[in-house]
Every structure is written in structure tokens, then in C-alpha cells.
Amino acid sequence: MLQRLYIYFLQFKEYFIFVGLVSLSLMMMVMNDNPQVRYIRSLTVGVVGFVQESFSFIPNISALQNENHLLRKINVNLADEVNQLREARLENMRLRSMLALKETSSTQLLTAKLIAKNLNLLRNTITLNIGESDSVKIGNPIVTGEGLVGKIIAASSHFSIGQIVLNVDFRASAKIQRSRVDGIVAWDGKTLILKNIVKSMDVKTGDAVITSEYSNAFPEGIKIGIVSEVTDIPNSLFKRVEIVPSVNLTQTEEVFVMNFVPSLERVILELEKR
């Protein structure tokens, strides 16, 4: 081992001697307090500083990568906080609207959360997280602070299914709030319409449509929507009245189920007299 080191030293002795002499020279310059040496040291420091300052515009790639990673992390955290605040604000708006309805309603309201939606069919439905054990009954109206959503058509112990206004089987007796003109609200698969409106009746774009006292399925005065278009039907006594639902069903997450069921006595009496 020593012999190998000795041979290696002999082969590169010139380099070792050079490095040693340079190191010795530098040590002597550093330790020497001669004015000329001090001048050389200050000049060297000045030159090095000037060179560093001249090339300071060249970015440090590693530092930039670290800074970029840190900024991306901060951006993700801020975006998450913004989303949480936005969600909290929207939830607060929904809950305030529902609370206002609950405080003014004369009918008992059961709070429910949507756990499933079918909004791309002709017979659209929603699934709620409450059922018969929560006093839900078939026929109970479903509402929000904005208006009518639909009614319960099936229920189990802990879940229920609601038929919404955008369902071809849905019907509701309704009236124009301003002029008290009566009609039937139905969905034709594309548009919510108010049917049986004679051309001479007073219906205008922007009129509010609400459930009427003639309805046995829903309490009177629940908002259904706003008249969006009124057109005459050729060769007919009636006109077509299109409605925009007051409840945005694609964004609805919480609803109320009203403790209201159709009067069986009234249903039987009306069926007997037909």
C-alpha cells in the first residue's frame, strides 16, 4: 500500500509540489501584513466583488426552482381557502333562505338533504335522506326558500323519492299571482308551461306563478316560477305560457318536506262527482 502511494507520488510529484507552493504562497500572503500585500488583497477582493456584481443578473436556477415550488404550494393553499369560503357563503345563503321559509310557514317542515338526482330523463326524480321513520308520507310537497320542488312519490324507512316539477307526470293547479288567472302547470319534456290559458286572459312576461287554492296536492301560495314567454297557438283558443322554475334544481342541495297530504275525503268526493 505504501509502495503504491510512493509510486503514485513520484508520477505526479510536479503537481504536488506546485499545489504545495501555491498553498504556501497564499498562506504567506494572508498572514503577511506588508502594505503591498494588503493592497493586493484589497484589489483582489474588489475585482471579485465587481465580477460577482456584473454577473448577478444571471438567475440561480436552484433558487428559482425552490421559489417556484413554494409559490405553487402557497397558491394551492390560497385556492383551497377561497373555495372553502365560497362554499361557506353559498351554504349560508341557502340556509338563511330556508330558515326564513321555516319561520313563516304554518305547516311543519322536515329538513332533508339530496343524496341523488336524476335530471336527464323525462321522469326526473330526487332522492332524499329522510323517510317514513322521519314522518315522511307519500304526497308530501317538497319546497325550498325559492319555491316548489315537487312531491314525495315513494318512501322507505330512511329514504324517500321525490317527483320534481320537471317531470312529464307532474301536475299542479296554479295561478298568475298578479291577475289571478288559473291554469295547470306541467312539463312537456323541454319546458315548464302553464296550460289552459285562454288568449283573452291577462298573462304577461315576468308574472309570478304560484300554487292555487284549487290544488289538493299543494298548499296555496307556493311560488312555482316566472312567466318567461307568452305566444298565441295558431288555430286554438289558448296561448302557450312558458315558465322558468323558481328553484334551480341543478344547484339544490337541501330541501324541506312539508307535513301536508292531500285530503282523502276531497279526492273521493271529486272522483264520485266526475
Q: What is the pLDDT of residues 214-252, one digit of tens each?
A: 888 898 889 999 999 999 988 889 999 999 999 998 888
- Give the pLDDT confidence score for residue 183 in this predicted structure: 95
Ramachandran angles phi, psi of 108, nearest 5°: -65, 135
Among 38-42, 201-205, 234-238, the range with the most confident prediction by mean pLDDT is 201-205
Residue-level pLDDT at 71: 76
Between the alpha carbon of residue 4 and those of residues 20, 138, 229, the distances in Å are 21, 99, 101
User: Which architecture, in CATH terms, is 109-262?
Assistant: Beta Barrel (2.40)
Cα-flanking dihedrals φ and ψ of residue 94, to 5°? -65, -45
Mean pLDDT score, 71-89: 68
pLDDT at 107: 75
DSSP state for residue 268 in the 8-state scheme: H
Which residue is associated with the grid cell 328553484?
247
Cβ neighbours for 274, distance < 8 A, ≥ 6 positions apart: none
What phi and psi values does residue 167 have, to the nearest 5 degrees?
Answer: -145, 130
Q: Lowest-confidence range among 9-13, 144-148, 182-186?
A: 9-13
Among 162-166, 187-191, 263-267, which stretch is predicted with the lowest mean pLDDT?
A: 263-267
Whole-number pLDDT of residue 68? 77
243 class by beta-carbon count within 10 Å (0-12 exposed, 13-18 middle, 19+ buried): buried
In the chain, the percentage of residues whose pLDDT exceeds 70 is 64
Q: How far is CA 195 from CA 34, 184, 185, 230, 231, in A?
A: 109, 5, 6, 11, 12
Closest CA to 100 of 143, 147, 145: 145
pTM of the predicted model, to two decimals? 0.63
Average pLDDT over residues 183-201: 94
Dihedral sign from CA coordinates of 233, 238, 239, 243:
negative
Which distant-in-sequence residues (6+ apart) come within 8 Å of 187 by Cβ? 165, 166, 167, 168, 170, 193
Question: pLDDT band at 199, cuts 50/70/90?
Answer: very high
Tell me the three cell numbers of residue 70. 413554494
Say whether 145 sits in a helix, a strand or coil: coil
Query: What is the tens place of the pLDDT at every residue in 4-21?
Result: 666 666 666 666 676 776
Q: What percent of the chain has pLDDT over 90?
A: 43
Give the position of cell 372553502: 84
Max distance between CA atoms of the chain, in angstroms, equals 126
Cα separation, 138 vs 257, whole angstroms = 11
Residues 6+ apart with CB under 8 A from 216: 173, 262, 263, 266, 267, 270
Higher pLDDT, 115 or 29: 115
**Residue 172 C-beta-side C-alpha neighbours within 13 Å:** 35
Return the pLDDT at 52: 59
In which band, very low, low, confident or very high, does the pLDDT at 173 lie, cut at 50, 70 and 90? Answer: very high
Instruction: List the grid coordinates of 80.
Output: 383551497
**What is the tens place of the pLDDT at every residue in 257-271?**
988 877 777 767 766
